[in-house]
Amino acid sequence: MSIAEIDLHSALKKYFGFSGFKGLQEEVIKNVIEGNNTFVIMPTGGGKSLCYQLPALIKEGTAIVVSPLIALMKNQVDAIRGISDNEGVAHVLNSSLNKTEIKRVKEDIVNGITKLLYVAPESLTKEEYVDFLRSVKVSFMAVDEAHCISEWGHDFRPEYRNLKHIIKRIGDNIPIVGLTATATPKVQEDILKSLGMTDAVTFKASFNRPNLYYEVRPKTKNVDADIIRFIKQNEGKSGIVYCLSRKRVEELAQVLQVNGIKAVPYHAGLDAKTRVKHQDMFLMEDVDVVVATIAFGMGIDKPDVRFVIHHDIPKSIESYYQETGRAGRDGGEGHCLAFYAYKDIEKLEKFMSGKPVAEQEIGHALLQEVVAFAETSVSRRKFILHYFGEEFDNDTGEGGDMDDNVRNPKKQVEAKDDVKI
């Protein structure tokens, strides 16, 4: 099938109801349809899924999609099923299926009904599945959240490491599509090498978020009061406050409540029911603020989060970018305020001390970048984009004046070491 014969816009409209492609989607999709190895780097929300979903629907055979989170896979499968009159069009293959269900999945694939098969990387270690997949027509392999393959990423998963060999076993010439929102040159290189696709055509979107305002303030013993003041100045707006520990989340949520702020805590130590309840309260705007550990955010799609506060500085620039990225999804205002004390860096270093040396070294290097970011007197945006391998000119670039260092040029932040935090 040549691209000239396919009307991608009609296919987009027909399957997804969208009237146009976002950013680089069309170029990426053409490249995937042509059967090339493809590497897609786009920020969260950039529309990466479509880059493999549409080609999968168009191409002959079944596309295998590797994704790390069962919940995310389920969401995608439900969405794809919604656009087709045959629910066999997309399936998940994982350990939760019983024998009858597995049989159904296999039949649908063999009969050419299934265009998208979502699998967790650990399922692909099963001989039985690999043997089966080798016997069917696979259109391409999509590796979503491909940074999980890299120890330099923020979410390393050892099971991702074997993917290259597994893909080889499923078929010799299966095109690979790697997708990630992590843009550091190191992680990119790791992905290309680990997936054995150094020949891939790379598509990288800009990571600039022009509507976000970046600010770092020194963290003192008055940090709670500073946070309360900020939230009160932004009354009625939705926001997230990130803390490192569950204990701090609980304490701060209470402090906010006592001060008349509608806030709820969220962390992995709360039972599932409470977590869902608090998340829904935030989404439904029964509360304005969620005080959370990093357990909160993955897959949360609230477009009008107006501020993200870091009570504790994150362990890497990527984490900071991901977490602040939850503000202003709708393109409206998004204030990103981080409190920084060098003591917190030491605390994070200490947490790593029990880990293997290689991991500690990586963790240390990532933290040094965070220190540099927090203490820099150059534009925060410029710093972040440079970290992601992107040149940014504050005079001509969008959002060029949207950070504290540009608005109020000043000397370096002097974090005090002796304060209690």
Considering only residues 48, 115, 219, 306, which one is a binding residue for Mg ion as defined by CB under 5 A? 48
Cα–Cα dist 262/288, whole Å = 6
3-state secondary structure (DSSP) of residue 376: coil
For 153, phi then psi, to 5°, come to -80, 180
Q: Output the smallest distance, CB 299 to ligand ADP, in A.
A: 9
Q: Output the smallest distance, CB 314 to ligand ADP, in A.
A: 19
Interface with Mg ion by CB under 5 A: which range of 48-56, 206-214, 252-260, 319-327? 48-56
* Residue 18, contacted partner among Mg ion, ligand ADP, none, CB below 5-8 A by kind: ligand ADP
Nearer to ligand ADP, 21 or 152 (CB): 21
Interaction pattern, residues 87-106, with Mg ion; x per rule: CB under 5 A = --------------------
* Residue 47, contacted partner among Mg ion, ligand ADP, none, CB below 5-8 A by kind: ligand ADP
Cα–Cα dist 246/415, whole Å = 24
Q: Among 105, 136, 118, which Cα is nearest to 66's?
A: 118
Interface with Mg ion by CB under 5 A: which range of 42-50, 158-166, 206-214, 300-308? 42-50
Nearer to ligand ADP, 83 or 110 (CB): 83
Cα–Cα dist 373/367, whole Å = 10
Q: Output the smallest distance, CB 30 to ligand ADP, in A.
A: 14
Q: Output the smallest distance, CB 26 to ligand ADP, in A.
A: 9
Bridge partners of 305, per DSSP, are 238
* Residue 182, contacted partner among Mg ion, ligand ADP, none, CB below 5-8 A by kind: none
Cα–Cα dist 332/353, whole Å = 41
Q: Is the dihedral of CA 258, 264, 268, 274 positive or negative?
A: positive
Q: Counting contacts by CB under 5 A, is residue 147 touching Mg ion?
A: no
Q: Among 342, 421, 331, 408, which Cα is nearest to 374's?
A: 342
* Residue 15, contacted partner among ligand ADP, Mg ion, none, CB below 5-8 A by kind: none
Q: Output the smallest distance, CB 118 to Mg ion, in A.
A: 12
Task: Extract the tokens encoding 252.
Answer: 């701060």
Q: Output the smallest distance, CB 178 to ligand ADP, in A.
A: 13
Q: Output the smallest distance, CB 84 to ligand ADP, in A.
A: 16
Q: Among 208, 183, 147, 153, which Cα is nearest to 366's?
A: 153
Q: Among 44, 72, 45, 76, which Cα is nearest to 63's?
A: 76
| Interface positions with ligand ADP (CB under 6 A) | 18, 21-22, 25, 42, 44-50
* Residue 259, contacted partner among Mg ion, ligand ADP, none, CB below 5-8 A by kind: none
Interface with Mg ion by CB under 5 A: which range of 45-53, 103-111, 184-192, 295-303? 45-53
The single-letter DSSP state of residue 98 is -
Cα–Cα dist 258/284, whole Å = 22
Cα–Cα dist 285/127, whole Å = 47
Q: Output the smallest distance, CB 237 to ligand ADP, in A.
A: 23
Nearer to Mg ion, 48 or 154 (CB): 48
* Residue 218, contacted partner among Mg ion, ligand ADP, none, CB below 5-8 A by kind: none
Contact of 68 with 156, CB cutoff 8 Å: no
3-state secondary structure (DSSP) of residue 291: strand
For 310, phi then psi, to 5°, come to -100, 105
Nearer to ligand ADP, 16 or 230 (CB): 16
* Residue 22, contacted partner among ligand ADP, Mg ion, none, CB below 5-8 A by kind: ligand ADP
Residues that bind Mg ion (CB under 5 A): 48
